[in-house]
Structure formats: C-alpha cells, structure tokens
Amino acid sequence: MSRNQLESRPVLGPQLFTIYINDLDEGIKCSISKFVDDTKLGGCVSCEEDTKRMQGDLDRFGEWANSWQMQFNVDICEVIHFGGKNRKTDYYLNGGRLGKGEVQRDLGVIVHQSLKVGMQVQQVVKKANAMLAFIARGFEYRSREVLLQLYKALVRPHLEYCVQFWSPNLRKNILAIEGVQRRFTRLIPGMAGLSYDERLDRLVLYSLEFRRSRGDLIETYKIPKGLDRLDAGRLFPMLGKSRTRGHSLRIEGKPFRAEIRKNFFTQRVVNLWNSLPQETVEVSSLAIFKRELDMALVAKGIRGYGGKAGTGF
C-alpha cells in the first residue's frame, strides 16, 4: 500500500467512533453494553424462543455493519454460556459461527463461565504484590506516613476495583487478598512483633474484608437514591415493600438454588442493610450516611480493627 493510500484511509477517534455506533442498539431486544469498540450482547435463554431472539439480534448486528460499511471481527468474538443446564446453542454472526469461551475480561474484571472469582482474585493479588514489591525496593526512606500514602494510592485500589461485583466468599480467596495488606503492615518500621490486628489498630487501618462489607452498604444506599445510574427496581425488586419490621428501605433477597448466588451483591447485602437503623438509611447525603454508618457498625460491635469509627477508610 502506497503512502498516499495510507494517508487517505479514515481514522475515527474514540469519541467520534462512539457517536458513529450510537444507533447500534436500535431494534435490539436483548441487553446490550457498549464501550468504545467492545460490544456485549446478553440475555436469559431458557427456551427455543429465547434462542431465536438472541440470534435475531446478532443478525441485526450484521445488517447494521453492512449498512454502515463496517465489519465485526468474527474470529475474536466469543459466546460464554452461564449455568449448568445451559443449552449451549451455537450462534452465528454474518454467516460465521461464534466460538465458545470460558473466560471473558470485561473492563479489567475476569468473568468465568462458572461465575467463580478465583481467577480474578489471583490477578488482583499478583498486581498488588508487584506494586508492593516496587515500593519496598524503590523507597529507602520508609516513614509511616509516606508508606501509608503509597499503599492507599498504588496498592489498595488493585484489591478493591469493582469489588462489589467479584467480592470473594471462599476463605482461601479472602485470606489471599488480606495477605497483601498483612505484608504491607510488616514493612512499616516499629510494627515487628505485633499481631495483624494490633498493626491495623496502630496504623488506623481496617481489614479489607470489613471495607468490602462497608462498601456494599454504601453502594446499596446510592442505588435507590439515584446516585448511581442503575435500575434500583431491577436490583432490589422488593425495595421498601415490607414495613412490618425494620426501616422503610428494607429489601428482600431473591430466592436462589445455586450456592454461588448466595454471594451475589444483591443477596449478601440484604441482612446487614436491613439491620441498619432508620435514622442511618434516611439521611439526605452520602457523606452523612458514611458517618452514620460507621457509628451504626461500631454500635453493633462490628469493627475492622481501625480505632475510631470513620477514620481508617
């Protein structure tokens, strides 16, 4: 290809490309998510009619691509089937059969078809430990203040990114994540010989397991308040329906058969959220809710080994 031919080829920037594909979901019946050039189509398939609906949406993708003279790379498109009783139907895009995969990475989160989070835990622990090793090798002056700031800015975000989606429930995964913070606290001068709980108390830090529970409650507060662009009715269909006991924003979990669903965000948060007092959940701002939540957790005897409420997060 000549230089003139190369220079004449159009190149779309990310923002222009997003505008260009804005009408991709017109006429689509299944759920669709778009992020730059990454498009995902999803839906519940339990009968032949559901299969036809899914294939029909894929056919619409093909028609859209042909109309706008674009092309899907069928070779790298995959189908992930969830559920032990899944029919695992073959799907086609522009006449090409889509391959079947077991793992998909979505915005940095590894999703396995079994919905187990072991691979995600291994990934975040590896990244966090690598950053912790970089800090240990690269900083000779290890004051408490400097190390704490580095840990909160460079290490802990790896362990908590999108954690409401993949929060672990197996003890081995919980301990693997907590082990990163254990190693960090031992790096700080003066912490030798102290237990992990004592180190957290001295450093005014909370266990990562406690932070995940607190984060679940904060996210639950934000959803019905409209602070996050999520469908509260879909996530918590029984929101505020039961007034016989508890507060006015009481939620009820959905019935489930698989044990793994017990740890889904909408399930694991139910009991702890419903146990909060009315004056905590009805506050008008997120900042006030966090303060009230910390005091409520301390009142319930739930501590993350961090000293005073609301100071170690």
Nearest to 293 by CA among 221, 205, 202, 201: 221
CA distance 13 to 24: 17
- Together in a domain, 253 and 197: no
User: In terms of residue numbers, what domain contains 69?
Assistant: 3-101
- Res 260: pLDDT: 81
For residue 20, being part of any structural domain is answered with yes
For residue 304, being part of any structural domain is answered with no
pLDDT: is 184 or 74 the higher one? Answer: 184
- Together in a domain, 32 and 93: yes
The pLDDT tens digits for 146-168 are: 999 999 999 999 999 999 999 99
For residue 49, being part of any structural domain is answered with yes
For residue 313, being part of any structural domain is answered with no
Q: How far is CA 286 from CA 173, 185, 283, 298, 300, in A?
A: 30, 30, 8, 18, 21
**Domain endpoint, select from 205, 240, 268:** 205
- Together in a domain, 161 and 219: no
- Res 312: pLDDT: 43
| 72-83 mean pLDDT | 88
- Together in a domain, 257 and 278: yes
CA distance 21 to 68: 9
- Together in a domain, 270 and 185: no
- Together in a domain, 180 and 136: yes
The pLDDT tens digits for 239-293 are: 665 555 677 788 887 777 777 888 899 889 988 998 898 889 888 899 999 999 9
Does this model's pTM top 0.95? My answer is no
Q: What is the DSSP letter of 11?
A: -
User: In this model, does residue 138 exceed pLDDT 90?
Assistant: no
- Together in a domain, 147 and 184: yes
For residue 213, what are its two tokens?
């529970």
**Domain endpoint, select from 75, 101, 127:** 101
For residue 40, being part of any structural domain is answered with yes
User: In this model, does residue 81 exceed pLDDT 70?
Assistant: yes
Question: What's the total number of domains in the chain?
Answer: 3
- Res 3: pLDDT: 41
For residue 95, being part of any structural domain is answered with yes
Q: What is the DSSP letter of 24?
A: T
Rounded to the nearest 10°, the torsion over CA 158, 160, 163, 166 is 50
For residue 310, being part of any structural domain is answered with no
- Together in a domain, 21 and 91: yes
- Together in a domain, 226 and 185: no
- Res 288: pLDDT: 94
**Domain endpoint, select from 152, 187, 205:** 205
- Together in a domain, 65 and 146: no
CA distance 45 to 9: 41
User: In this model, does residue 227 exceed pLDDT 70?
Assistant: yes
User: In this model, does residue 209 exceed pLDDT 90?
Assistant: yes
For residue 109, being part of any structural domain is answered with no
**What is the length of the chain?**
313
User: In this model, does residue 126 exceed pLDDT 50?
Assistant: yes
CA distance 298 to 73: 53
- Together in a domain, 182 and 224: no
- Together in a domain, 200 and 216: no
Share of the chain above pLDDT 70, in %: 89
User: In this model, does residue 120 exceed pLDDT 90?
Assistant: yes
